[in-house]
Amino acid sequence: MAGGEKKRAVLIAGPTASGKTALAIARAQGTGARIVNADSMQVYGVLDRLTARPDARELSAAQHELFGHVAPGERYSTGAWLADVNKQIQEAEVLNQELIFVGGTGLYFEALTKGFAQIPPVDPRHVAEAEGLIRGLDVAGRAAVLAARDPETARRIGVADPQRVVRALSVLLATGKPLSAYQGENAPPLLAGYRLEKLVLMPERAVLRRRIADRFVAMMAKGAIAEVEELLALGLDPSLPAMKAIGVPEIAAMLEGRMTREEAIERAVTATRQYAKRQSTWFRNRFADWDLVDPLVRAPDLTESDQAL
């Protein structure tokens, strides 16, 4: 940056289907910025449509990084994402390029801006064991299991979403130490010294629910079924994150004759709406110092025609 100006990054978070991709592209086209994925599902290959990853037209409209770069047979951690992000930051700094981080994974944004604990690698068998401990449990049940084993981490995470509970339990099983014991030893945040613009897109609830339904119907018409067929053909462990992406179990059940197409759509839309509600709660509770924006009312540099799902 010329004249000692601080390096700049724009952070765009929000629930699924809130218009994050469109806003990121609009901003990048105005500044030549590099868009970096901050969504834990959009890192996986094969599931282009089901994870709402930017399509070919969108990818060509601006530079996009860390989208679909992980094989679906892998378990990709926040630590691995930060290592990949660090390379993107270094490249952007050499090119004097603004960064735009966009996605719906709150933990990624927290790690990026607040630092991340250096936690030893966890063997997949411990992840599978942790998943077994909470299988079939609702939010309250997951919270109770975690609170009994690591009450401090349970208190910190608030809403006991499956991914974070499994992470905490697997670390405890693998190391004998609770995740909370590591979280006081965060490495410095990667964006220390950056001037940050922090946005959370939060459309009105009824609008978001409608967008979610419309988008999933469009996904089914534009290749989602073929993606699940391709994924199933790989014969992967059902406990892998990519295998549990919303839409995969529902479409798999449809392909196996256990659900009709209409039932698969209904269940996937319901699951997506529930996920969006959890995301919204997370962002409102944890990102109180971010700028909440309704993209359909006030979206910087986002025209009406750009407000894609």
Domains assigned to the chain: 2-117+187-204+287-306 (3.40.50.300), 124-182 (1.10.20), 205-281 (1.10.287.890)
Tell me the residue length of the chain.
309
**Is 20 annotated as belonging to a binding site?**
yes
Contact by Cβ (8 Å): 103, 41: no
**Phi, psi (degrees; rounded to nearest 5) at 96:** 55, 45
How many Cα atoms sit within 13 Å of 39 on the Cβ side?
A: 32
pLDDT on residue 134? 93
The annotation status of 238 as a binding-site residue, yes or no, is no
Annotated binding-site residue? 260: no
Say whether 14 counts as a known binding-site residue.
yes
Residue 26 annotated as lining a ligand binding site: no
Strands (E), 17-56: 34-37
Query: d(Cα 150, Cα 152) in Å, to the nearest integer?
Result: 6
Band (164; pLDDT cuts 50, 70, 90): confident
Spatial separation of the C-alpha atoms in residues 287 and 32, rounded to whole Å = 27
pLDDT per position as a tens digit, 101-149:
999 999 999 999 998 877 777 888 898 899 999 999 998 999 999 999 9
Give which of 82, 98, 109 is closest to 31, Cα–Cα: 98
In the block, residue with structure tokens 């909440």: 292
Here the tokens at position 42 are: 């959009």
Q: Is 113 annotated as a binding residue?
A: no
Cα separation values, 15 from 19, 111, 238, 260, Å: 9, 18, 25, 28
Tokens of 218: 């469009």
Model confidence over 246-289: pLDDT tens digits? 999 999 999 999 999 999 999 999 999 999 999 999 999 999 99
